[in-house]
């Protein structure tokens, strides 16, 4: 995946540096963000990718007259090294838990009297505060009122214009009116009369609306202001159909133009009390709030509400998992048949993406992929967020491991699964690594823990089998998953780099991934991922306990397992899991796919 044409990068950086000189800017920060701090960005705000050629979803780009560097974490190091080669842009490796390391670098690099700049509209408020503090201590000015990309990106994409639609019953198990009532109770408890929300998944959840402004996530560009009796949804004209707009008005929701949010906040009464979430709001949006308004800072109550799926939601997710699992049976049947055909045309990693998406698209309720499929053969599997393209991909032939990480958006749930399959001959080293990762999956999947346990504390359970062999992996073990929403959501995060803060507590109804891995650069990568649901697991004199229900339904390739490394109880877990997969998926597949399912779920001796 090397950057085969670096001339555009060099030209664009030269234009940007000229604009910096004109504005007397000594360092420019280009975050991977939009005005809503989205993970996946509309094309208009993919400036870091446009400038650098680095396509990873996370990275902070800093440009000075003499230096250009992108700070990103271990998931993207191999990818960044390839894509930044010969561009003059350095990879700056972020160590675990040091996601704002570039702030310290800037403070050390810049001198008194110099100026750093960043578009405040896309700069997170919490990061802005760190920047201001660090730069003020060095007498360095911070400009947030300029978007230099507009001066050099002449064909910059416009705002997305996809329509907004309702997420309807039975899949929407709670009404807008009910969700707004719950939110107002939480606001009152925090002492707030009004609440500003800018994060798109929170807004989509709260109003039971969905859109297609951001790839893979069914959300739409908007802000929301919730007052004691009515709420205002700021969204571009024409995106909400008239009938839906009328329904919203009847239910206490007014629709206003997207760009009018700033004026609405500026007009708040002097005695207003406004709730904001500083981690989910940009610096530029915060500037819209007048100084006369009292501001209360706390996590958006909707972040907690949407993380705890109701039993009705969970039933829909289970059904979506069955459809997803059936689609995967059909896909893996095709894959095995294709690999076994000596007359076949070359099979590429790109074809994996096409066929797995097509298999899902044949299933009821499917809307779109939930993220860009990762299909990495051999050494490409060791690139954690690898993406095959028509221009750069590998042919799947010979011997090795094929890692496939994919997911789907269904009206009744969001899926995310990783499986690794063997191609040709599998070595003892492959099997050892695969089995150690599987032991981590089993260990955490079987865990029982007190309700309220802070999710980062669970990370070590999945790593323990790897640690025991002197091995580790450079990403978190698990992330929260939305309900026909973002494939990554909080507040829970099973990660060694996450702070075990009170808001990360595990509660019933949360859906989280379990996905330990092992990556050997230049050789292979292994990750096994299931989604699990927090459920009650009894009460003792020590309190209420939770455990996990595994939601994902797809066989784990037993051909890659060294059975001698599994204890009897671990084999029982795997055999029980496969028995469940077989029982749940058997009614949904037939023919060759059914035969494949039966074979791949045979008990491990």
Looking up residue 588, the CATH number of its domain turns out to be: 3.90.230.10
In a domain, 426, yes or no: yes
pLDDT band at 99 (very low <50, low <70, confident <90, very high): low
What CATH number does residue 82 fall under?
3.40.350.10
Neighbours of 527 (CB within 10 A): 23
Average pLDDT of the residues in 95-117 = 87
Q: In the listed set 124, 152, 180, which residue is the last one of a domain according to the structure?
A: 152
pLDDT band at 253 (very low <50, low <70, confident <90, very high): very high
Instruction: Quick: pLDDT tens for 458-473.
Output: 999 999 999 999 999 9
If asked whether residues 80 and 190 sit together in one domain, one would say: no
CA 125 remoteness from chain centre: 20
Average pLDDT of the residues in 371-375 = 94
Q: In the listed set 99, 120, 152, which residue is the last one of a domain according to the structure?
A: 152
Backbone torsion region of residue 400, taken as left when φ is above 0, otherwise alpha when ψ lies between -120 and 50, otherwise beta: left
Residues 6+ apart with CB under 8 A from 349: 375, 376, 377, 380, 388, 393, 394, 396
Average pLDDT of the residues in 311-317 = 98
In a domain, 140, yes or no: yes
Asked if 393 and 345 count as a contact pair (C-beta separation under 8 A), the reply is: no
In a domain, 605, yes or no: no
In a domain, 274, yes or no: yes
Per-residue pLDDT at 5: 67
If asked whether residues 457 and 552 sit together in one domain, one would say: yes
If asked whether residues 246 and 327 sit together in one domain, one would say: no
In a domain, 157, yes or no: no
Parent domain of 359: 308-600
Neighbours of 241 (CB within 10 A): 13
Secondary structure element (H or E) that encloses residue 572, with its range: helix 568-585
* Residue matched to tokens 């707004």: 180
Is residue 2 pLDDT above 70, yes or no? no
Instruction: Spell out the long-range contacts of 589-597 with Cβ–Cβ below 8 A and sequence spacing 24 or more.
Output: 589/326, 589/329, 589/330, 592/333, 592/337, 593/326, 593/329, 593/330, 593/333, 594/329, 595/333, 596/329, 596/332, 596/333, 596/336, 597/329, 597/555
If asked whether residues 85 and 181 sit together in one domain, one would say: no
Per-residue pLDDT at 73: 84
If asked whether residues 428 and 539 sit together in one domain, one would say: yes
If asked whether residues 285 and 360 sit together in one domain, one would say: no
Cα–Cα distance for residue pair 316/146, rounded to 1 Å: 46
To the nearest whole number, what is the mean pLDDT of the chain?
Answer: 95
Cα–Cα distance for residue pair 359/330, rounded to 1 Å: 7
Which ranges of 267-393 does DSSP label H, i.e. alpha helix?
A: 283-286, 301-307, 311-340, 349-361
In a domain, 158, yes or no: no
If asked whether residues 428 and 504 sit together in one domain, one would say: yes
pLDDT band at 3 (very low <50, low <70, confident <90, very high): very low
If asked whether residues 566 and 456 sit together in one domain, one would say: yes
Average pLDDT of the residues in 531-546 = 97
Q: Which two tokens stand for residue 460?
A: 């070590």
Per-residue pLDDT at 1: 39
Q: In the listed set 126, 152, 178, which residue is the last one of a domain according to the structure?
A: 152
In a domain, 542, yes or no: yes
Asked if 94 and 73 count as a contact pair (C-beta separation under 8 A), the reply is: yes
Per-residue pLDDT at 557: 97
If asked whether residues 197 and 317 sit together in one domain, one would say: no
Instruction: Quick: pLDDT tens for 418-458.
Output: 999 999 999 999 999 999 999 999 999 999 999 999 999 99
For 183, how many CA atoms within 13 A lie in the half-sphere containing its CB? 33
CA 319 remoteness from chain centre: 22
If asked whether residues 356 and 493 sit together in one domain, one would say: yes
If asked whether residues 282 and 414 sit together in one domain, one would say: no
In a domain, 159, yes or no: no
pLDDT band at 80 (very low <50, low <70, confident <90, very high): confident
Is residue 341 pLDDT above 80, yes or no? yes
DSSP state of 348: B
Domain count, the chain: 3
If asked whether residues 212 and 227 sit together in one domain, one would say: yes
């Amino acid at each position: 995946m090397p950057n085969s044409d670096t001339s555009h990068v060099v030209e664009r950086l030269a234009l940007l540096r000229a604009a910096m000189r004109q504005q007397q800017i000594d360092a420019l920060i280009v975050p991977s963000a939009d005005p809503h701090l989205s993970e996946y960005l509309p094309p208009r705000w993919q400036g870091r990718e446009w400038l650098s050629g680095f396509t990873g979803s996370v990275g902070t780009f800093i440009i000075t007259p003499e230096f250009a560097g992108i700070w990103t974490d271990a998931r993207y190091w191999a990818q960044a090294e390839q894509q930044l080669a010969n561009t003059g842009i350095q990879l700056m490796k972020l160590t675990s838990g040091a996601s704002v390391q570039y702030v310290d670098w800037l403070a050390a690099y810049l001198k008194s009297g110099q100026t750093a700049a960043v578009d405040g509209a896309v700069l997170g408020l919490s990061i802005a505060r760190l920047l201001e503090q660090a730069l003020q201590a060095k007498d360095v000015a911070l400009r947030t009122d300029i978007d230099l990309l507009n001066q050099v990106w002449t064909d910059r994409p416009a705002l997305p214009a996809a329509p907004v639609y309702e997420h309807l019953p039975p899949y929407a198990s709670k009404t807008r009116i009910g969700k707004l009532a719950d939110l107002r109770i939480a606001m009152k408890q925090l002492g707030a009369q009004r609440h500003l929300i800018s994060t798109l998944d929170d807004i989509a959840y709260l109003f039971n609306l969905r859109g297609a402004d951001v790839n893979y996530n069914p959300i739409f560009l908007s802000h929301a202001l919730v007052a004691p009796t009515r709420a205002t949804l700021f969204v571009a004209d024409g995106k909400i159909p008239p009938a839906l707009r009328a329904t919203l008005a009847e239910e206490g929701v007014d629709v206003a133009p997207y760009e009018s949010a700033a004026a609405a906040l500026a007009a708040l009464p002097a005695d207003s009390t406004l709730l904001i979430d500083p981690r989910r709001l940009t610096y530029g949006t915060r500037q819209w709030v007048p100084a006369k308004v009292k501001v209360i800072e706390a996590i958006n109550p909707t972040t907690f509400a949407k993380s705890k799926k109701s039993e009705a939601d969970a039933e829909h997710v289970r059904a979506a998992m069955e459809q997803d699992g059936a689609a995967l049976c059909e896909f893996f049947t095709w894959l095995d048949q294709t690999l076994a055909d000596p007359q076949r045309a070359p099979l590429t990693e790109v074809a994996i993406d096409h066929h797995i998406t097509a298999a899902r698209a044949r299933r009821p309720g499917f809307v779109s992929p939930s993220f860009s499929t990762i299909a990495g053969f051999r050494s490409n599997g060791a690139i954690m967020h690898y993406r095959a393209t028509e221009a750069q991909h590998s042919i799947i032939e010979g011997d090795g491991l094929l890692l496939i990480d994919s997911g789907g958006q269904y009206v009744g749930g969001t899926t995310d699964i990783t499986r690794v399959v063997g191609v040709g001959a599998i070595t003892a080293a492959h099997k050892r690594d695969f089995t150690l990762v599987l032991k981590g999956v089993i260990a955490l999947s079987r865990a029982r823990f007190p309700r309220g346990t802070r999710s980062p504390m669970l990370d070590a359970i999945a790593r323990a089998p790897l640690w025991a062999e002197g091995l580790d992996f450079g990403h978190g073990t698990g992330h929260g998953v939305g309900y026909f929403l973002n494939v990554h959501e909080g507040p829970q995060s099973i990660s060694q780099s996450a702070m075990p803060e009170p808001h990360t507590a595990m509660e019933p109804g949360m859906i989280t991934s379990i996905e330990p891995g092992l990556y050997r650069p230049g050789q292979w990568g292994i990750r096994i991922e299931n989604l699990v649901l927090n459920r009650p697991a009894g009460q003792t004199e020590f309190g209420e306990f939770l455990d996990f229900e595994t939601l994902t339904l797809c066989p784990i390739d037993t051909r890659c397992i060294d059975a001698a490394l599994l204890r009897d109880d671990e084999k029982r877990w795997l055999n029980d899991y496969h028995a469940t997969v077989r029982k749940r998926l058997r009614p949904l597949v037939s023919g060759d796919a059914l035969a494949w399912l039966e074979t791949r779920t045979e008990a491990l001796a």
